[in-house]
């Protein structure tokens, strides 16, 4: 990990949106950082640094340096700029999954780090204002020496199939109307991934699964997840959504699917892979 020598591009965020110059469509070339000078002259100046609203994003050696800052939610954008939900931008540009180093992957990295920077202004142990650790990404407490790195929360997401070649898709209370996706849940302390999968599926829809196999993974910085995708097979029990987190869950065949999550999510990637057989 190298520190940033020279910032050439800056991501501008506002809440879970990326702020972009106006344009007709959104393509991979549009969701990168805007020129440092343009961002700073439009939205701030050197006085913005080093507040929690601005941070540099360390990159691999040899890459141009990036920075990011987060506008307040009530900041009115100047003419010629617009605010686009990051999920919508990713869905519009990503062909499949978001990979590290792609325009979408760099956007995810910058957004993840930006959010963490805002939440790590103070030491979690003694409450003193944190400094930046030299040469890298960590925060360092100048009083007690505690170091803090960006938090990454692992979560499993699982395609369950049955012996009738159907896939289990569920409508979560947080989803938009009509959207069905894979079952998912956060890893708890003391669990391995298999035990998380078995517990979550039992809790959410009351069934048992086995033959768990790893499928794919993808960062998901809303706010700080790493989604670990698996497949599993139905092994028993009567399907019964918990009614609070999962409002509906059903077995679907390939030719009669509900509305699916957007492109650029690991859920969609795993569902698409199953659809291709």
**Would you tell me which residues interact with Zn ion (CB under 5 A)?**
123, 125-126, 128, 141, 143-144, 146
Contact 154, 226 (CB under 8 A): yes
Three-class SS state of 6: coil
Q: Which is nearer to Zn ion, 7 or 123 (CB)?
A: 123
Q: Which is nearer to Zn ion, 37 or 125 (CB)?
A: 125
Q: Which is nearer to Zn ion, 48 or 143 (CB)?
A: 143
Select from 66, 76, 94, 92 the least CA-distant residue to 10. Answer: 66
Q: How far is the CB of 147 from Zn ion (least distance, A)?
A: 10
Q: How far apart, in whole angstroms, are the C-alpha atoms of residue 197 and residue 191?
A: 10
Q: Which is nearer to Zn ion, 68 or 123 (CB)?
A: 123
Q: How far apart, in whole angstroms, are the C-alpha atoms of residue 226 and residue 155?
A: 6
Q: Which is nearer to Zn ion, 100 or 121 (CB)?
A: 121
Cβ within 8 Å of residue 29, ≥6 positions away? 103
Total Cβ atoms within 10 A of residue 147: 12
Q: Which is nearer to Zn ion, 126 or 152 (CB)?
A: 126
Element (H, E) at 43: helix 36-43
Q: How far is the CB of 153 from Zn ion (least distance, A)?
A: 23
- Pair of tokens at residue 126: 């003694």
Q: Which is nearer to Zn ion, 75 or 125 (CB)?
A: 125
DSSP 178-230: TB-B-EEEEPPTT--HHHHHHHHHHHHH--EEEEEEEEEEEEETTTTEEEEEE
Q: How far apart, in whole angstroms, are the C-alpha atoms of residue 204 and residue 247?
A: 9
Q: How far is the CB of 132 from Zn ion (least distance, A)?
A: 14
Q: How far apart, in whole angstroms, are the C-alpha atoms of residue 120 and residue 56?
A: 14
């Amino acid at each position: 990990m190298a520190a940033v020598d020279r910032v050439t591009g800056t991501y501008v965020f506002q809440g879970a949106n990326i702020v972009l110059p106006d344009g007709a469509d959104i393509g991979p070339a549009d969701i990168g950082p805007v020129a440092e000078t343009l961002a700073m002259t439009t939205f701030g100046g050197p006085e913005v640094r080093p507040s929690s609203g601005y941070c540099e994003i360390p990159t691999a050696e040899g890459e141009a340096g990036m920075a990011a800052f987060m506008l307040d939610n009530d900041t009115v954008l100047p003419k010629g700029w617009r605010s686009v939900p990051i999920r919508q931008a990713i869905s519009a540009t990503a062909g499949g999954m978001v990979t590290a180093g792609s325009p979408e992957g760099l956007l995810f990295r910058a957004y993840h780090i930006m959010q963490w920077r805002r939440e790590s202004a103070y030491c979690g142990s003694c409450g003193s204002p944190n400094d930046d650790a030299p040469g890298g990404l960590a925060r360092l407490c100048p009083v007690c020496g505690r170091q803090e790195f960006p938090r990454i929360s692992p979560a499993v997401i699982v395609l369950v199939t049955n012996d009738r070649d159907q896939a289990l898709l569920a409508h979560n209370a947080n989803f938009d109307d009509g959207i069905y996706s894979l079952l998912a849940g956060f890893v708890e302390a003391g669990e391995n991934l298999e035990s998380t999968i078995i517990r979550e599926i039992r809790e959410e829809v009351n069934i048992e699964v086995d033959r768990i196999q790893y499928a794919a993974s993808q960062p998901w910085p809303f706010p700080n997840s790493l989604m670990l995708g698996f497949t599993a097979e139905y092994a028993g029990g009567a399907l019964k959504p918990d009614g609070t987190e999962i409002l509906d869950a059903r077995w679907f065949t390939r030719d009669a699917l509900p509305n699916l999550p957007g492109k650029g999510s690991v859920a969609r990637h795993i569902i698409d892979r199953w659809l291709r057989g």
